[in-house]
Amino acid sequence: MRESTKGRYAIRVIIDMAENGESEFHPLHNLAERQGLSEKYLEAILGVLVKNNVLEGARGKGGGYKLAKPAAELTVWEILSVIETSISPVECVADGKNGCDRADVCPTLPMWKDLAKIIKDYFTGITIEQLARKAPKIARPLCNEK
């Protein structure tokens, strides 16, 4: 299993929101600046998270993005499962797959299923609040500073 940059950036920006006011709307340009990402790329990631009810989005003055639920209730699994194409260790145990034509005789299938469950349980057990508390505190510029 290898996470994409989209998955890593999604988690990173959501931690940023939790650290900087989880119930507040964060303008796209502020998030992009703090994370060192392009607005266009970040907007595509955040759009997927809004569509899947991980974030809320609002347009106009005072708008931006905010967490759809408290950071203490939002898990890494919820984020990765909507951003990543697959989090499974092998294709035959990916969500929605029925395995392969050798599933009934495959000696390794139980191992891969167990690993997939371990991965899901692991990421389900980590909340954004936990990650935000452990995040190194670095000096971040104010949004209007250059």
- pLDDT tens for 42-73 read 999 999 999 999 999 999 888 899 999 999 99
pLDDT of residue 34: 93
Phi first, then psi: give them for residue 56, nearest 5 degrees.
-110, 145
CA distance 57 to 16: 16
Indicate whether 12 pLDDT > 90: yes
Go through the domains of the chain in sequence order and give each one's CATH number: 5-86+127-134 (1.10.10.10)
Beta-carbon count within 10 A of 82 CB: 15
Question: In this predicted structure, which of 10-24, 94-108, 110-124 has the lowest mean pLDDT?
Answer: 94-108
- The three state secondary structure string of the chain is CCCCHHHHHHHHHHHHHHHCCCCCCECHHHHHHHHCCCHHHHHHHHHHHHHCCCEEEECCCCCEEEECCCCCCCEHHHHHHHHCCCCCCCHHHCCCCCCCCCCCCCCCHHHHHHHHHHHHHHHHCCEHHHHHHHCCCCCCCCCCCC
Beta bridge partners of 56: 66
